[in-house]
Amino acid sequence: MARRLISPCQGSGLLNAGFLGVFSSHHMIHLLCFSSLFLPPNSIPCLYQYHRLPLSSSHRSSQLKNCYLPNLRKEVSHWTRPATPSLSLYSARLASKRTTCSVATEPPPSTTEEPEMDLPKEIFLKEYKKPDYLFDSVNLEFQLGEDKTIVTSKIAVSPGTEGTSSPLTLHGHDLKLLSIKVNGKDLKSEDYMVDSRHLTVSRPPGGTFNLEIVTEIYPQLNTSLEGLYKSTGNFCTQCEAEGFRKITYFQDRPDVMATYTCRIEADKTLYPVLLSNGNLIEQGDLQGGKHYALWEDPFKKPSYLFALVAGQLDCREDSFTTCSGRKVTLRIWTPGQDLAKTAHAMYSLKAAMKWDEEVFGLEYDLDLFNIVVVPDFNMGAMENKSLNIFQSRLVLASPETATDGDYAAILGVVGHEYFHNWTGNRVTCRDWFQLTLKEGLTVFRDQEFSSDLGCRTVKRIADVSKLRTYQFPQDAGPMAHPIRPHSYIKMDNFYTVTVYEKGAEVVRMYKTMFGASGFRKGMDLYFQRHDGQAVTCEDFYAAMCDANNTQLPNFLQWYSQAGTPTVKVSSSYDASSQTFSLKFSQEVPPTPGQPVKEPMFIPIAVGLVDSTGKDMPLTSIYSDGMLQSLTSDGQPVFTTVLQFNKKEEEFIFNNIPEKPVPSLLRGYSAPVRLDSDLTESDLFFLLANDSDEFNRWEAGQVLSRKLMLSLVADFQQQKTLALNPKFVDGLRSILRNTSLDKEFIAKAITLPGQGEIMDMMPVADPDAVHAVRTFIKKELALQLKDDLLSTVTNNRSSEAYTFNHDSMARRALKNTCLAYLASLNEPDTTELAFIEYKSATNMTEQFAALAALSQNPGQVRDDTLLDFYNKWQHDYLVVSKWFALQATSDIPGNVANVQKLLGHPAFDMRNPNKVYSLIGGFCGSPVNFHAKDGSGYKFLGEVVLQLDKINPQVASRMVSAFSRWRRYDESRQALAKAQLEMIVSANGLSENVYEIASKSLAA
């Protein structure tokens, strides 16, 4: 989807590196927007070869036509589990399991026969087949009711292949079939068959024909938030990836594209606003206090882009004039009380429309664009053609209630969903394995958009930090998969940071190789060739290469191989020949199902820095037996991109008059782990002098990581901890450097997260890493106290809140310094933080002060948290920040506090945003989630089973926190394993949770 995953605390301006994210900023932006959770903002969905269920002769009766349980609450398949858990994904143990379903009001009658369910079937990319039938047009009619909704679909069907005589198989889930007609005639019971996942027409007519199906569904009981459901009294849809099959029987796959009309009938008082895709072509009143609206979408689309909204909503209206002079009406719909908070989202939409025209020449193609805001949404947002649907936190903002992080997330996600109009809607995916074709590409586009409207270096640092914090661990865990997965059980589980964020890095490598103009030529050719089509990743690669008349050897390995490549670099200088050599080697580690890897195509941007701190001119390079000139228009270059695509390779720079310090992987030109022979002195030199600001930051991070790992070893050996004075001096010089961007300084003085350090250890030790990071933070605060205090003072402002880079940078630096000072837990620094909290005039500064005070347990913390809640208890988005702040806390024994918050009147297990904030946030505190006594694991295990009965998608994201349990000591492994075994043994487990938990156990 164009749903970005965003991490649970991202919007609050917090980033806890301990939580392993499985999804992406765009489902939870399309997440959590956290992606597993969750991705910081910048989030964030073939022929599905679904398993066929064996039917006994007694099941082949017409009774199967009405197999839907009217009071069904859970929306996925479930299996009864035996007591003994299995570690194998394919254990035959499940072969004889029987389905059970939980219901909203009462258990199923004891006499109800439970049909047998096959082992959950894995769907493979290699099994893709073109559809046997095509849908040319789809006419939908919805009769929305308080107890049930009637859906009528009228489909014009044509054979996919001339003369086909295959059965027509439609997907369907939790539907009650009322009637089915072909060419206006009711089908006899022997002419079709219904099971729990399909409706199959045995002998369709030859040639084209009309199919009419009427189903009954129950949106008010749909807690999965897929298909059509009710949220705070309004009807809403979410169809990506496979939600449309919960609305009506259909070929629910992205390569079946059709034009749609949608007629909606509903009570006019309860649902005065009726919206769907495309253009409103007719509306009017009906008898009985009802009314209707008829919508028509002129562009062919797959079913996952269908959308419907009905409810009591008000709108902010504006307009945008396209580059060709067309006026587009823009509307953002939300409950009336929230309308004032939509101004920034409207600004973001107009900015995105203008940017896409200027940078990619892409103009919006309809005369109306709608955004609808809903509080209950599994991901961040969804790019339905002309009717985007967003979770509230990614639209609603005011200075008093939203942080700079929220504002930045809204800008990026609104841009992301709008950009999908071309990269996802006009050109879509052939099958769900190609998801990164639209998501990776669109994440790259929204990253570039946010960079152009803000600070490019700071944005790049944030994106790379997210990649390392969430995607690298996923690449090294049991759920490792390429950006184009080879297989899946539930597609919902593959809206991941790998598909989104790593996918964006792969797209960025095209731009690195071809430059901005070459990348634009490739995009132009891609749209010229494939507008209106459902295509593959190879089609995008071909357009890029053909437009630039070149090939990229091994590049497609990025789409098929999982794992993060490790690149080792050694350097040498020959003064006599004035040559400088860089020797590279690469290794891609084994991952599940891929023990042996081929070399990858890795573009490495390199500059050489002389002893004065200046970039050296680069004129020529020798590699692979060839001498290549590096000049551009006769002038030397100062950064060049090396094409490293072998297991080992050497590059020799000529005309280098002195030994340089190499600046490697500038701008982070490839998503790899870099292991170089740079010395500590080299790193301090680059930190002070590198012209590539990303690599200046990176030099500081490498130094920080080495320092932290060294101190962790000392802590484990019970040695006295001491901070390297040179490290302190380096941060002091950055803090005092007035020529640097203030947000860059804030990033540069921020230590790597606990999760990033644990990821570098053979056996992760959360207690040691937490102790060391706490020690360094307090020691820096103590030694830099005067500089930190003056920075806080010098960056106060009494001006009204503005969302621009300079103001955000000022607040970021001040708040970072305040957090350092408050960590000392001294009376003067605590008083300073409390004054900042009480005097703050915007949520960014108030919440940062609250977070600073919350680091230290005690009465001040408790009183300030209570004061904050009392002030904001009527704003559910601010309350979610309050939950997240407490959940992510590293204070000792926090699991008890989080358990207590589950019973708080403001918490609702049915609301994904609150789950991500509280439960997902708790998983972001390594020292508490991985508590030695197993209390954190036990808490999550119990919650996952509760969640699974309500919303399996959200539950599967939570259980992902267990996925790397083998990274820890034997005691923690045993405790985590016990919870995973308990989960996979539970009766009625969803496919979503089963896939993640069983693969984690089998790793």
Rounded Cα distance, 923 and 918, in Å: 9
Rounded to an integer, what distance in angstroms lies between the CA atom of residue 948 and that of residue 956?
8
Strands (E), 14-112: 78-79
Q: 417 an active-site residue? A: yes
Q: What are phi and psi of 66, to 5 degrees?
A: -115, 55
Which amino acid makes up residue 63? Q
CA distance 726 to 88: 51
Residue 972 DSSP one-character state: H
State how far the Cα of 823 lies from the Cα of 850, in Å rounded to an integer.
Answer: 12
On the CB side of 403, CA atoms within 13 Å amount to 26
Six-digit token string for 182: 């072909």
Report CA-CA distances (Å) from 453 to 10, 351, 802: 19, 9, 14
Which candidate, 29, 804, 10, places its Cα nearest to that of 419? 29
Q: Which residues are bridge partners to 943 per DSSP?
A: none
Side chain identity at residue 543, one-letter code: A
Q: Are 186 and 192 in contact (CB under 8 A)?
A: no
Structure tokens at 956: 């599967």
CA–CA dist 417, 433 (Å, integer): 20
Q: Which one-letter DSSP state was computed for residue 321?
A: E
Three-class DSSP category at 946 = helix
SS3 letters across 863-919: HHHHHHHHHHCCCHHHHHHHHHHHHCCCCCCHHHHHHHHHCCCCCCCCCHHHHHHHH
DSSP state of 275: E
DSSP state letter for 549: T
Separation in Å, CA 688 to CA 747, 817, 821: 15, 21, 25
**CB 934 within 8 Å of CB 942:** no
User: 940, 973 in Cβ contact below 8 A?
Assistant: no
Q: One of 240, 417, 448, 693 is an active-site residue; which one?
A: 417
Of the CA atoms within 13 Å of residue 147, those in its CB half-sphere come to 1
User: What tokens does 215 get?
Assistant: 């189903």
| Cα 140 to Cα 152: distance, rounded to the nearest angstrom | 6
Instruction: Compute CA distances 74 → 70, 223, 528, 949, whole Å.
Output: 11, 7, 44, 6
Q: Could you say which DSSP state residue 107 is in?
A: P
Q: Report yes or no: 642 and 604 within 8 Å, Cβ to Cβ.
A: yes
Q: Is 246 helix (H, G, I), strand (E, B) or coil?
A: helix
Alpha-carbon Rg for the chain, nearest whole angstrom, is 28
Answer yes or no: are the C-beta atoms of 501 and 39 closer than 8 Å: yes
* Cβ-proximal residues to 447 (8 Å cutoff; 6+ apart), any chain: 42, 412, 459, 463, 504, 508
Q: Which two tokens stand for residue 911?
A: 């609301």
Give buried/exposed letters for 597-609 (b at 16+ CB in 10 A, else e). bebbbbbbbbbbb
Would you call 63 exposed, middle or buried from its count of C-beta atoms within 10 A (0-12, 13-18, 19+)?
A: exposed
CA 799/CA 804 separation, integer angstroms: 13
Contact indicator for 948, 996 with CB cutoff of 8 Å: no
Report the alpha-carbon distance of residue 371 to residue 815 in Å, rounded: 33
Beta strands 185-186 and 192-194 are unpaired
User: Active-site residue numbers?
Assistant: 417
